[in-house]
Amino acid sequence: MGCTLFVIRHAESQWNPIGRYQGLLNPDLSERGEKQAKLLAEELKNKGIKVVYTSPLLRTRRTAEVIAQTLNVPLIEDKRVIEIDHGVWSGKLVDEVKKEFPEMFEKWIKEPWTVDFPEGENLEAVFKRVKSFIEDIKRKHEGETVAVVSHTVPIRALYCAALDLPLQKFWSFGCDNASYSIIKFEEDRTTIHKLNITCHLERAGLYEEAHRAL
């Protein structure tokens, strides 16, 4: 029978527009992000979502709260979908990282699966935890539709895990703020039915393309 998973990236945080690596640091949503979250929640009405899972960080938790309240469904925190720990990059602007860690930054853009963030995580660790999350969702919510609010790195890793793709495909998926995608897990196949949907933001003039290095 399988299940359907709405995969949602949190709305714009205070650090997204300036290109600052967030990792496990905890900025809130921006003013535009609050508006994006409300539009996203309205977009998700009548989709049959039974529960919303969320990373515990403020930017995801706040986005998920708006959605869960609008849909009148339970909200569950799950640390497995928290953002990658960027370690020493956390809190730094992209331009600062380029200057301080030029070789590692180039690897992150070209071969992200080879990067071990000093004092942080690597993609393989994120892949393993989101893979575990997927297996639990499929087992617990057979025949149901659920949602998860997460971050750009675990979301891209989740796509690789869901489709049984290597992490070399990590950058192959768009992942904008307050976007949603739909994955259907069936007995004989897994299909991405929609990817990085942002039309609800574009209609209201609230769409901002994600930074390509974040």
Which one from 141, 151, 193, 200 is the annotated catalytic residue? 151
Active site residue 141: no
Active site residue 10: yes
Helix, coil or strand: residue 41: helix
Q: Angle between the 152-162 and 123-140 helix axes, to the nearest 10 degrees?
A: 60
Gyration radius of the chain over CA positions: 16
Which one from 10, 86, 141, 200 is the annotated catalytic residue? 10
Beta strands in the chain (DSSP E): 3-9, 49-54, 75-77, 145-150, 180-185, 190-197
Give the whole-angstrom CA distance, residue 182 versus residue 185. Answer: 10
**Residue reference for tokens 């976007």:** 179
**Residue reference for tokens 């057979």:** 142
- DSSP 8-state class, residue 15: S
Give the whole-angstrom CA distance, residue 58 versus residue 11. Answer: 11
Catalytic residues: 10, 151
